[in-house]
């Protein structure tokens, strides 16, 4: 583990989580959720859990963000609150 690398990833992770929750445009929120998944994948790879990181890269950063985007296109694009 490299501490400074960890801290950078964790800071970005928290920032990405907060932004994806607070953005009004749901399409942007889905994209930022993909970034969040990719950062978690980096964190896992860095902790040595390469298999989990691989799954997260494929599922969290790739496919689930796509599912969200597909859903956003079939619903109202902006959040009402």
- For position 51 contacting other proteins by CB under 8 A, the verdict is yes
Element holding 30 (H helix, E strand): helix 26-47
The residue range among 11-19, 27-35, 68-76 that interacts with other proteins, by the rule CB under 8 A, is: 68-76
C-beta of 51 vs 76, nearer to other proteins: 51
Please name every residue paired with 78 in a beta bridge, in sequence order, or none if there are none: 25
Distance (Å, whole) CA 61 – CA 40: 9
Distance (Å, whole) CA 56 – CA 61: 7
Tokens of 28: 């942007």
**Count of residues that bind other proteins according to CB under 8 A:** 18
- For position 10 contacting other proteins by CB under 8 A, the verdict is no
- For position 66 contacting other proteins by CB under 8 A, the verdict is yes
Q: Where do contacts with other proteins occur on this chain (CB under 8 A)?
A: 1, 47, 50-51, 53-55, 58-59, 62-63, 66-67, 69-71, 73-74
């Amino acid at each position: 583990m490299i501490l400074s690398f960890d801290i950078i990833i964790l800071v970005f992770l928290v920032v990405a989580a907060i932004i994806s929750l607070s953005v009004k445009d749901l399409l942007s929120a889905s994209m930022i959720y993909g970034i969040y998944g990719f950062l978690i994948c980096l964190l896992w790879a860095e902790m040595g859990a390469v298999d989990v990181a691989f799954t997260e890269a494929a599922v969290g950063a790739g496919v689930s963000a796509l599912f969200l985007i597909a859903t956003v296109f079939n619903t109202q694009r902006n959040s009402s609150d």
